[in-house]
Structures are given as C-alpha cells and as structure tokens.
Amino acid sequence: MSAQPPVPTERGILQFLAICDSFYPPDAVQASIEQQRHWYDALCARFDRPLPPEMIFADGMLQRIPIRRYRPRKISTRTILLYLHGGGFVVGSLESHHAICAEIADFAGAELVSVDYRLAPEYRWPAQTDDGFTVSKHLLSANSKVVLIGDSAGANLAAGLALRARDEGLSGVVGQVLIYPALGGDLAAGSYVEMAAAPGLTTADVAYYREILQAPAGNEIAEPLQAASLAGLPPAFITVAHFDPLRDDGRQYAARLTAEGVEVWFREEPQMVHAWLRARHMSEGARDGFHAVCEAIRRFAAA
C-alpha cells in the first residue's frame, strides 16, 4: 500500500485545492498542450478578482514582446516592477496573473510591467529568458531601477535575469522577489523526494516541464542553483511553500545567497502548497504570505 501524500490542514487552502482539482486533473500533464492551457485559463478565471480602484492598465509591445503595464492610482516611487508569470514555461499569460499584478502594483505604489514571454514547446529555452532580458534591459535603460518578480517558472526567470544583469554589468536591479521558485534542484533529493506527491505540483510534473523546456543541464541561467558564484546579486526576498517539491530550491538558494554576502529575507509558509498566490483571498496563510510578498516589493521599490 502506497503512503498517503503529505497535505496541509488549513481549511482555506484545502478548499482551494478542492477547487483546483475540479478544474485541473492530477494527470493533466498527460493531456495535449492545448488542453492544458485551456484548463489553466479556466482555473485562473475562477480565482479572478476585481482590480483595485482606479487601476489603469494597457497592453503593448516591446521589441515584438507583448507586455501589460499597470499604473495604480497613487505612485510613490519611480522604480518599475517587472513581473514574470508562472506556469511551467508551458501555460500562463498576461491574463492568468492579471489581478495578482494589479494588486501588487497597487500595494507597492509603483508601475508594474508584466511580460508575455514565449512558451514551450513552441519555443524552447532560451526564448523565455531572452524575452525577459530584452524587457528588463529596456526598463533599466529607461528608468534606473527595477525590481524583478516571478512565481514558480517566472521566479526561475527572475533569478536568471538577476544573474544576467550582473554578468553584463547592468546596474539598477534593486531587488529580486522569488515566489516558490524552480531553480534547478536535484529531483532525487530533499523536498523532491519528501514532497514528490504533494498536492498542486508533483516531482513528476517538475520533470515533465523541464523536459519540455529543454534547457541545458547545469546552465546557471536556466538553473541558478548551479551558478558558480552568487556574489554581487541584488537583495532577495524568497518565499517557499512547505508542501511543495520546489521547497528546497528556495531554501538552498537563500542559504547560498546569504553565504555569499547577499541580503536575503526568507519565508517558508508552513501550510501552503505550490501556486498559493491564487488562494490569497480565501486562505489565511496565503493572505499573510501575499502581504509579506507585497511588503518586500514595496521595500525594494522604495530603496
């Protein structure tokens, strides 16, 4: 008899998982990419929220890359927030994280740019990081300060962009906010084993998304945990979910950054699962975690 998968006990997050299960079946990765995107879009729409009052947003193109700009009612900093959405590099869009981006911009009192980077398998690595880097370079040249933000696959991209900016001598990245990041950890160790069957994301799912992306193993932009040095990177806020195979990626990255002299704020949400951002309006733990994320972004943007 197989062991039961680890699960949280918080009522709100269990309700969230039940809703997700009704939209996005456990074996979804076996379906076609088109079907996966349909399920994901429907799931995101289920958790949609009205935008904050007086929030303005507009779509545009930046060197062929679709973006969406958010401008809150009150701007308190000239720093720009750059958001890279999650979705395993396979699903997700400007729509999937629309309300999340608007709420972050409103809380931080800053303009936010969301990037509709190219997805796999139509576009393999490095298309995703190249799109993000093109936008970030433009923002850094036009504004002097940028905060890099991403969740899951998007956090992988944000961490990689921080490394690329450092290596190319670009100044102005004042913070990186990594929300349950995928950073290239060992699939046969730690939380990838302990949380292999966790609700919301399994280790098999992670392996599937890596295979679709086809990033070169050991490349430090694709797998920031493999970077030879993390010295000189901007300060970081990293948050992980306890019930998530990606948990130790964030733990290990925070520890390495700290050891190499980078200022780090680290949170582990004890009752959270992967993708808990969507549960921020129905789970106490997710609400607290999202507030901490927004506080960190506002702090970096005000620096």
Query: Which of these is catalytic: 244, 248, 249, 283?
Result: 244
For CA atoms 106, 163, 143, 114, the dihedral sign is negative
E strands, the chain, in order: 56-62, 65-71, 80-84, 112-115, 146-151, 173-179, 236-243, 264-273
What whole-number distance in Å separates Cα of residue 99 and Cα of residue 81? 15
Sorted by sequence, the CB contacts under 8 Å of residue 18 that are 6+ apart come out as none
d(C-alpha 18, C-alpha 41), whole Å = 17
Q: Which of 85, 98, 242, 274 is catalytic?
A: 274
Is 205 a residue of the active site? no
Catalytic residue among 152, 205, 248, 249: 152
Cβ distance 59 to 66 under 8 Å? Answer: yes
d(CA 192, CA 204): 9
Contacts of 4 (CB under 8 A, 6+ apart): none
Active site residue 130: no
Dihedral sign computed on CA atoms, order 109, 111, 116, 117:
negative
Q: 106 an active-site residue?
A: no
Residues designated catalytic: 152, 244, 274
